[in-house]
């Protein structure tokens, strides 16, 4: 199934780039300053999220599109968690290991993507102990909805 996903994902970088450009182009006019953005977990040592775009989605009331660039230091590991909506990861640099509960780990390399369905409990980490991992996270949320829910402390 991973091979099918990788083959289908071969066309996704262009699509994501187009969506990112669309979001960035409309972001300055669409950003909402009155409500706090749902934030990725920044309290995990060695993991630095940077929200690149947070914008209302035209024609979709109360929907927020977010693109976050996340950097993991060598060996960094996120806690087990799930997302409240679909999330797409796109690896920019390094190798990302993702493991859904009860499944074998999957390693993503630069240019590869992975869709995580809502409620899927998983963990991900930097496969390297010497190099950084950088990836983009694309998410569509309801206004005020949190993206990530930890299931371990």
Match domain 2-150 to its CATH number in 2.40.50.100, 2.60.120.10, 3.10.20.30, 1.10.540.10. 2.60.120.10
For residues 110 and 150, give the distance between their C-alpha atoms in angstroms, rounded to a whole number: 26
β strands within the chain, DSSP E: 47-56, 63-72, 81-83, 87-93, 96-100, 106-108, 113-116, 122-126, 133-142, 148-150
- What are residue 63's phi and psi, to 5 degrees? -100, 140
Instruction: Summarize pLDDT for 67-118 with one digit per residue, the tens.
Output: 999 999 999 999 999 999 999 999 999 999 999 999 999 999 999 999 999 9
For residues 152 and 132, give the distance between their C-alpha atoms in angstroms, rounded to a whole number: 24
* Domain residue spans of the chain: 2-150
Instruction: Summarize pLDDT for 24-41 with one digit per residue, the tens.
Output: 334 433 443 333 444 444
Give the global pTM. 0.74
């Amino acid at each position: 199934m991973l091979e099918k996903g990788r083959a289908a994902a071969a066309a996704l970088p262009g699509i994501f780039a187009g969506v990112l450009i669309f979001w960035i182009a409309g972001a300055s006019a669409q950003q909402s300053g009155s409500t706090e953005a749902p934030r990725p977990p920044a309290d995990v040592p060695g993991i630095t999220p940077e929200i690149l775009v947070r914008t209302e989605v035209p024609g979709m009331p109360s929907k927020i599109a977010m693109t976050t660039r996340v950097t993991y230091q060598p060996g960094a590991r996120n806690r087990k968690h799930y997302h409240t909506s679909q999330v797409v990861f796109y690896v920019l640099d390094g190798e990302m290991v993702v493991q859904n509960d009860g499944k074998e780990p999957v390693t993503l390399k630069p240019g590869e993507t992975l869709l995580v369905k809502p409620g899927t409990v998983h963990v991900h980490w930097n496969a390297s102990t010497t190099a950084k991992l950088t990836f983009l996270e694309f998410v569509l949320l309801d206004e005020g909805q949190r993206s990530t829910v930890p299931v371990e402390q």
